[in-house]
């Protein structure tokens, strides 16, 4: 009898594993570390689940999705790129604001406590910024420089990176003396304590309201909805806080789109 029960249990485990759905997530580059931690916690609570993460600039990920890339869930670095997908009819459900990001300066050689005033230092030859066309953090960086009347003078020094993760890498490796980065990357295990960062006053740029949305597939993926709900749940708050993100000011429905 014990052998029969054991055999049945093993069969149930195998069936459960085979039936588990994979979730393919397209995520903005600033989420590389925070989302890895959230994924690991989710899979601990849902051992039969499989979450695949692909990181890149929000704009490039949108193009991949529109070109048919097999993603189930999109987590952008703003709320405009999910809106573009919504308007194209490739999403379902409501767009949700999951966090507010923060912009920071990072350098391994300079004292960045002076804030943006340090950018006028003649010793700075290169400043890394993510491409504003495809990366919301790059867009906010350029916006800030323009409103502070610094962009024209600094433009010859700017090195544009494909995404915010690459912009951070340029500053970290010394390919640029200083870079505009997402605070979450400055607080990452790879960068914290190996350089200096300065959190830029959030009143100087448009808020980085980061939103997510589910992508339509031929077959419904219930696991994708479960993972989205987990990302938005109080269970992940400490992880978001750890990487310097702010929670949505109201409910997650604050960024709900018109159907």
Say if residue 180 is in the same domain as residue 122.
Answer: yes
Say if residue 27 is in the same domain as residue 83.
Answer: yes
Say if residue 94 is in the same domain as residue 113.
Answer: no
Q: What CATH code is carried by the domain that includes residue 8?
A: 3.40.190.10
How far apart, in whole angstroms, are the C-alpha atoms of residue 213 and residue 228? 8
Backbone dihedral region for residue 182 (phi beyond 0: left; psi -120 to 50: alpha; all else: beta):
beta
Say if residue 198 is in the same domain as residue 79.
Answer: no
Say if residue 62 is in the same domain as residue 126.
Answer: no
How far apart, in whole angstroms, are the C-alpha atoms of residue 131 and residue 161? 6
Count of domains for the chain: 2
Say if residue 148 is in the same domain as residue 185.
Answer: yes
Question: Coil, strand, or helix at residue 158?
Answer: strand
Say if residue 88 is in the same domain as residue 216.
Answer: yes
Say if residue 93 is in the same domain as residue 15.
Answer: yes
pLDDT digits (tens, 9 = 90+) for 156-194: 999 999 999 999 999 999 999 999 999 999 999 999 999
pLDDT above 90: residue 116: yes
Say if residue 195 is in the same domain as residue 213.
Answer: no
How far apart, in whole angstroms, are the C-alpha atoms of residue 10 and residue 165? 43
E-strand stretches of 29-67: 50-56
pTM: 0.86
Contacts of 61 (CB under 8 A, 6+ apart): 26, 27, 28, 54, 71, 74, 76, 81
Say if residue 175 is in the same domain as residue 189.
Answer: yes
Say if residue 50 is in the same domain as residue 166.
Answer: no
pLDDT digits (tens, 9 = 90+) for 53-75: 999 999 999 999 999 999 999 99
Question: Coil, strand, or helix at residue 157?
Answer: helix
Average pLDDT over the chain, rounded to an integer: 89
**Containing structural domain, residue 75:** 2-101+209-255
- Please report, rounded to a whole number, the percentage of residues in the chain having pLDDT higher than 90: 85
Contacts of 1 (CB under 8 A, 6+ apart): none
Say if residue 21 is in the same domain as residue 96.
Answer: yes
Question: Coil, strand, or helix at residue 211?
Answer: strand
- Please report, rounded to a whole number, the percentage of residues in the chain having pLDDT higher than 70: 87
């Amino acid at each position: 009898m014990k052998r029969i029960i054991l055999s049945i249990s093993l069969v149930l485990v195998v069936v459960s594993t085979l039936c588990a759905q994979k979730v393919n997530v397209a995520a903005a580059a600033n989420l590389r570390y925070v989302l890895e931690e959230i994924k690991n916690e989710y899979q601990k609570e849902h051992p039969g689940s499989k979450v695949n993460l692909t990181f890149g600039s929000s704009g490039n990920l949108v193009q991949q999705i529109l070109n048919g890339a097999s993603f189930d869930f999109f987590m952008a670095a703003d709320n405009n790129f999910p809106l573009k997908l919504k308007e194209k009819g490739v999403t379902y459900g409501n767009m949700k604001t999951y966090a507010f990001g923060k912009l920071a300066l990072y350098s391994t050689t300079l004292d960045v406590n002076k804030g943006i005033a340090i950018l006028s230092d003649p010793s700075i030859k290169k400043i890394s910024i993510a491409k504003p066309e495809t990366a919301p953090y790059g867009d906010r960086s350029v916006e800030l420089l323009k409103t502070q009347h610094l962009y024209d003078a600094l433009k010859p020094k700017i090195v544009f990176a494909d995404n915010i993760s690459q912009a951070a890498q340029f500053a970290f490796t010394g390919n640029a003396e200083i870079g505009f980065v997402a605070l979450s990357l400055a607080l990452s295990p790879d960068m914290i304590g190996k350089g200096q960062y300065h959190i830029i006053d959030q009143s100087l740029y448009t808020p980085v309201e980061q939103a997510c949305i589910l992508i339509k597939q031929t077959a419904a993926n219930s696991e994708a909805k479960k993972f989205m709900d987990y990302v938005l749940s109080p269970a992940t708050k400490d992880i978001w806080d750890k990487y310097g993100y702010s929670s949505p000011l109201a409910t997650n429905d604050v960024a709900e789109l018109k159907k």
